[in-house]
Amino acid sequence: MSDLGNFFSHCTKIVDAELGKLIPSAKTEPARLYEAVRWSVFAGGKRFRPVLVLAVGKAFGADERKLLSTASAVEMIHTYSLIHDDLPAMDNDDLRRGRATCHVKFDEATAILAGDVLQTLAFQAIVNDALLSDKTKVRLIAELADSAARMVDGQQLDLDGEGKKIALADLEKIHQNKTGAMICVSARSGAIIAEAGENELNAVTNYASKLGLLFQITDDLLDVTQTTEVLGKTAGKDLRAEKATYPAFYGIEETRNLAEKVYREAVAALNNLEKPTAILREIADFILNRKA
At residue 96, what are phi and psi to the nearest 5 degrees?
-150, 135
CB closer to ligand GRG out of 84 and 188? 84
Which residue lies nearest ligand GRG, judged by its C-beta? 45
Q: How far is the CB of 136 from ligand GRG (least distance, A)?
A: 26
Q: How far is the CB of 1 from ligand GRG (least distance, A)?
A: 19
Q: What angle do CA 32, 114, 36 make, to 5 degrees?
A: 40
CB closer to ligand GRG out of 210 and 275? 210
DSSP state of 177: I
Length of the chain counted residue by residue? 292
CB closer to ligand GRG out of 15 and 194? 15
Task: Find, among 116, 36, 121, the residue nearest to 70 by Cα.
Answer: 121
Residues that bind ligand GRG (CB under 6 A): 45-46, 48, 78, 81-82, 84-85, 97, 151-152, 155, 178-179, 219
Q: How far is the CB of 234 from ligand GRG (least distance, A)?
A: 10
CB closer to ligand GRG out of 125 and 196? 125
CB closer to ligand GRG out of 155 and 189? 155
Task: Find, among 244, 274, 250, 276, the residue nearest to 262 by Cα.
Answer: 250
Q: How far is the CB of 179 from ligand GRG (least distance, A)?
A: 5
Give the C-alpha separation, 50 to 3, whole Å: 17
Task: Find, among 144, 218, 207, 213, the residue nearest to 175 by Cα.
Answer: 213
Task: Find, among 79, 78, 74, 189, the residue nearest to 125 by Cα.
Answer: 74
Q: How far is the CB of 45 from ligand GRG (least distance, A)?
A: 3
CB closer to ligand GRG out of 34 and 286? 286
CB closer to ligand GRG out of 81 and 110? 81
Q: How far is the CB of 151 from ligand GRG (least distance, A)?
A: 5
Neighbours of 13 (CB within 10 A): 11
Task: Find, among 124, 93, 125, 129, the residue nearest to 111 by Cα.
Answer: 93
Q: Which residues contact 99 (CB under 8 A, 6 or more apart)?
A: 39, 43, 105, 232
Q: How far is the CB of 200 from ligand GRG (least distance, A)?
A: 25
